[in-house]
Structure 1
Amino acid sequence: MDFIFFDADGRYFNFLCLYQILYKPVILTIFSAMQTMRWAFMLCTISQLDVLIYNFENMKELVKAGNCEINEAFKDGFKKNIVHHCAIIQFVNTIGRAFGGQILLFFMINSFIICTTAVQFFSIPNPLNNIMELVWIFGFLFIMIIMLYIDCYFGTIITEKGSQISMTVYCFPWIDLKQDLKKQFIIFFVRNQQDLVINASKLIPVSMTTFRKVMNWTYKGFAVLNQMRK
């Protein structure tokens, strides 16, 4: 991409200089947009789960305050919350289908980049004489690890919030409900037993457990390459 074979006095040299100036910011902008897009969708899911949890808790508060009879509070709020919950599940599945391949590819490429960059970091001769090179490589390594961590962290938060919904609904005084409302409660509780997980291409769950596994394999690869270098 450096085009070193072009003559500096050629007619196209100015256009090549302009390209060299623009392509890096453009690539960086596109990469940042693609990376932060799925983070935005994950944050949107987390916020919607918080809203849903609040709505379920609000049903209990209405009963405790005596502003509403228990069956009435459950009947009015439960159906709306069920629709909201189904929409969140569908949205999470859409995120998995849209970004699953990208996330899986990012896991593989990122682990390889972290491994090779770490080897490069420890291969610098005379570290005290190459402080700036150390800073740049360490900064790049830190950014790649943080990007991987954010994906897995948001995925774990979504799973935990999904489990919190079950606990919040279970704490509702459902024993005092009418028989038909109890059936609705049991159906929802059984259907919500499955964890709310974003999967990378339906193969790897995006979670902190996956982050630890990826870093573990990355360290093993680094150890092998570093040993070969020696």
Structure 2
Amino acid sequence: MHSYKTHKVINLMISFFYRIGLWHRGANPTVKELKAKFFYCIYHALFLLSLVVGAITTESVDKKIFLAEVAIAIVVLLIKLCLLIWKQGQILDLLNRFCVFSIRDDDDASYFNNKLGRFMKFVTAFLIAVLFVGFSESVVLSFLGSEKSLFLEIAFPLDWKHNDIAFYIATFFIFTEVFLAIIAVLFSILIWYLLLICSLRYNVLGSELRKLGHEQIVEKANKKTLEKRMQHNFFEGLKSSIKIHLHLRELTTELESFFSKLFLTQFGTSGLCICGSIYCLAFNVGDNVLERLTYLSLLLYFIAELFMITYFGNEIMLSSNSLSYSLFQSNWVDQPQSTKKCIIVFGEYLKHPQELIVGRLYPLTLETFTRILKSAYSMFNVLKSFQQ
């Protein structure tokens, strides 16, 4: 028996949320903790406001498109930040219910560990890339070149173009806002982690169903006694699998309900952000190589945010869809008639896969991902026709 709990990397992120005051300890937040939570939300909303006003007031069409693209991305990140701050209890409850469980078989545990380890390696590389891009666009790019300039030319109350102190204050403001955006990205990783655990638990359940009735009983007894013992073990394993499946369906439904509006917002904005990034790259908006690399990194980030949720949603659908086939790979033919009836009923129930539906309209699958990419390309063609 292998017992699992929340991964240590996720626990480090949770500790970080507590340390910086995003989350509170105890049943209810204190007045001081509430002030900190409101400050984070309002402060990040000011960044969105400065981007929107900057996009309206700037004269360059290219900068308008870029600032509008970043503003749209910040809308999603602001929603994530607010969810992270104000839905602490529900997030911790989901983590506890999804991630605390046991796996009986050694091979299944090895499969689970391998998949989870590869995901954590990807998360580490992803975070390093996000930190590099965030630091570059908020600090490094501001000091490149002979003239003072902000990579994100936001609207700012001080005259940063002609005053050094105002320039440093504006740079610090952008740096702190990008820091909050990166915290919202950490919440994205939490979401991916929950979706991954859900899909892996469905895969492990499928493996357990396939192995029903195939275990060897090592004890000396006559053939009839051994047969009854195996039939009893099969039935107990079947009951356990049914309970696990019902529990997983309940958890997945809760996950769908909790993140549905957020995913719908991502679906509605991802195409615009990807379109804007492609435009900046296609028409060579950047003044230097580092700026162009930043545009490319932003494009990859927008695609990754969309791809990860649709990929894991697709994995949940596929892994739950294969459960019916896995059930009939078990040694069900040697079971008594009463058990076979239960298997047939359960098999019919398993024919309906667990598909996450966003906003009761869009399935969280790779098909939706490709549709959004196609819509982004169509919007880019419209922008390109205006440019010509």
Same fold (TM over 0.5): yes
More helix by share: 1
Residue 20 of structure 1: how far off its partner (Å): 4.9
Matching residue within 29, 33, 39 for 2:186: 33
CA–CA separation in structure 2 for the residues paired with 1:77 and 1:114: 48
Partner in structure 1 of residue 337 of structure 2: 179
**What is the TM-score of this pair, normalised by structure 2?**
0.53
CA–CA separation in structure 1 for the residues paired with 2:377 and 2:275: 7
Residues 1:160 and 1:131: Cα distance change in structure 2 (over 3 Å):
same
Residue 47 of structure 1: how far off its partner (Å): 2.4
Residue 211 of structure 1: how far off its partner (Å): 0.9
Residues 1:161 and 1:167: Cα distance change in structure 2 (over 3 Å):
same
Partner in structure 2 of residue 59 of structure 1: 212
In 1, are the aligned partners of 2:275 and 2:379 still within 8 Å (CA)?
yes
- Number of residue pairs aligned between Structure 1 and Structure 2: 223
**What is the TM-score of this pair, normalised by structure 1?**
0.86
Residue 72 of structure 1: how far off its partner (Å): 1.7
CA–CA separation in structure 1 for the residues paired with 2:279 and 2:174: 29
Partner in structure 1 of residue 140 of structure 2: none
In 2, are the aligned partners of 1:39 and 1:151 still within 8 Å (CA)?
yes
Q: 1:125-140 maps to which residues of 2 (within 5 A)?
A: 130-140=288-298
Question: For residues 168-221 of structure 1, what are the alpha-carbon distances to aligned partners after superposition, in whole Å with 9 as ceiling and x for unaligned?
Answer: 101123233222111111111111111211111221111111111111111111
- In structure 2, stretches of 5+ residues that fail to align are 1-49, 51-153, 219-225
- In structure 1, stretches of 5+ residues that fail to align are none
Given the alignment of the two structures, is residue 119 of structure 1 paired with residue 279 of structure 2, yes or no? Answer: yes
State the AA in 1 paired with 2:156: I
Given the alignment of the two structures, is residue 86 of structure 1 paired with residue 253 of structure 2, yes or no? Answer: no
Partner in structure 1 of residue 20 of structure 2: none
CA–CA separation in structure 2 for the residues paired with 1:146 and 1:81: 34
Given the alignment of the two structures, is residue 24 of structure 1 paired with residue 178 of structure 2, yes or no? Answer: yes
Question: For residues 79-109 of structure 1, what are the alpha-carbon distances to aligned partners after superposition, in whole Å with 9 as ceiling and x for unaligned?
Answer: 0110000111111111110001111110111
Given the alignment of the two structures, is residue 101 of structure 1 paired with residue 253 of structure 2, yes or no? Answer: no
> How well do the aligned residues superpose, as a CA RMSD in angstroms?
2.6
CA–CA separation in structure 2 for the residues paired with 1:73 and 1:112: 55
Q: Which of 1 and 2 has higher RCO (CA within 8 Å, sep 6+)?
A: 1
Given the alignment of the two structures, is residue 190 of structure 1 paired with residue 348 of structure 2, yes or no? Answer: yes
Given the alignment of the two structures, is residue 222 of structure 1 paired with residue 380 of structure 2, yes or no? Answer: yes
Q: Give the secondary-structure state (helix, strand or coil) at the position aligned to 1:86.
A: helix
State the AA in 1 paired with 2:350: N
Q: Give the secondary-structure state (helix, strand or coil) at the position aligned to 2:214.
A: helix
Partner in structure 2 of residue 143 of structure 1: 301
In 2, are the aligned partners of 1:97 and 1:201 still within 8 Å (CA)?
no
